[in-house]
Structure 1
Amino acid sequence: MADGLLVFDGYCGFCTRSVGWARALDRRGRVEMRPYQEPGVPESIGTDAATCADAVQFRGPDGVRHGGAAAVNALLDTVTGTRVPTTVYRATAGLQERVYRWVADHRGRFPGMTPYCESHPSECAAST
């Protein structure tokens, strides 16, 4: 069983590419990564699709859910088995959240790949 769950936008090519990078870092399979469009996924981490559409979400081994840059750092903590990313985040949270928001708001302009939900349509609800 995975230690964490990352919930991402499965209709975003940049998000799908980013999840691929996270999977490459997660050599021990510590994190499950699912699109929020998969039925029941947002509810499984105690939120809704609108929150997941706004920012990546991560529920860690402690059961706490994080969003945005905090989620990315918590994910990195889990896959690396260290607390270094979150320690750096604490010192730079304001900057990291602003950068995350800018990237999230412009994610359609970044290079990506075929979105997860286009490659796995049976796992995703209709386009949102």
Structure 2
Amino acid sequence: MQTPLLVFDGACGLCTRTLGWLRLLDRRRIIETAPYQRPGVPERLGRSLADCTASVQWLGADGQRAEGAEAVNAALAVALRSTWPLRLYARTATPQDALYTWAATNRHRLPGVTPWCTRYPHDCT
């Protein structure tokens, strides 16, 4: 088993804020997080830079991959040690995917915090 990995847009303030919330929920610090701008991260996922730019990416401890709203729910399930986020996603995938797509498309216009790559430029290319 590997450490679960959530890959996010390190140039996005909304993404960085959301990552902060996830870290609060992940009290056991099980989930590794990385900006896709970190060298080697897209390759580690087996995803293209375009995939990582388009949406958040998840690689579970079991090797399962997900992106977008499903990835967020997978990370929440691990952080909370509960299957309810994934069960909820299974029932509401269409509206969650639509909301995620809208938020991802407009992420640089939405409120957030100082983006990860601005705070930690050594961590990004």
Q: TM-score range by the shorter chain?
A: over 0.9
1:48 — aligned with what? 48
TM-score normalised to the size of structure 1? 0.94
Distance 1:2 1:32, change over 3 A: farther
The answer for the alignment partner of 1:11 in structure 2 is: 11
Identity, % of aligned positions: 49
For 1:47 and 1:109, locate their aligned partners in 2 and report how far apart those are by CA, in whole Å. 26
TM-score (norm 2): 0.96
Q: How far apart, CA to CA, are the structure 1 residues paired with 2:2 and 2:107?
A: 27
For 1:51 and 1:27, the matched residues in 2 are separated by 29
The residue number in structure 1 matching 2:61 is 61
* Aligned counterpart, 1:116: 116
What's the C-alpha RMSD, in Å, of the aligned pairs?
1.3
CA distance in 2, matches of 1:96, 1:57: 15
Shift of residue 61 of structure 1? 1.3
Whichever residue aligns with residue 95 of structure 1, its letter is: P
Q: Name stretches of at least 5 consecutive residues in structure 2 with no aligned partner.
A: none
Question: Map of 1:1-128 to 2, 5 A cutoff?
Answer: 3-125=3-125
The number of aligned residues is 125
Deviation, structure 1 residue 4 = 0.8
Question: 2: CA distance between counterparts of 1:81 and 1:46?
Answer: 26
Please list the CA deviations of residues 55-100 of structure 1 after superposition, one character each: whole Å capped at 9, or x if unmatched: 0001111111100000000001111111100001001111110010
What are the Cα deviations for residues 13-33 of structure 1, in whole angstroms up to 9, with x where unaligned?
Answer: 111111011111100001011
Q: Given the superposition, is the C-alpha separation of residues 117 and 2 from structure 1 closer, same or farther in structure 2, using an over 3 Å criterion?
A: farther
Whether the aligned pair in 2 keeps the contact of 1:6 and 1:75 (CA below 8 Å) is: yes
Q: Distance in 1 between matches of 2:95 and 2:53?
A: 21
Structure 1's consecutive aligned runs of 4 or more residues displaced over 6 angstroms after TM superposition are none
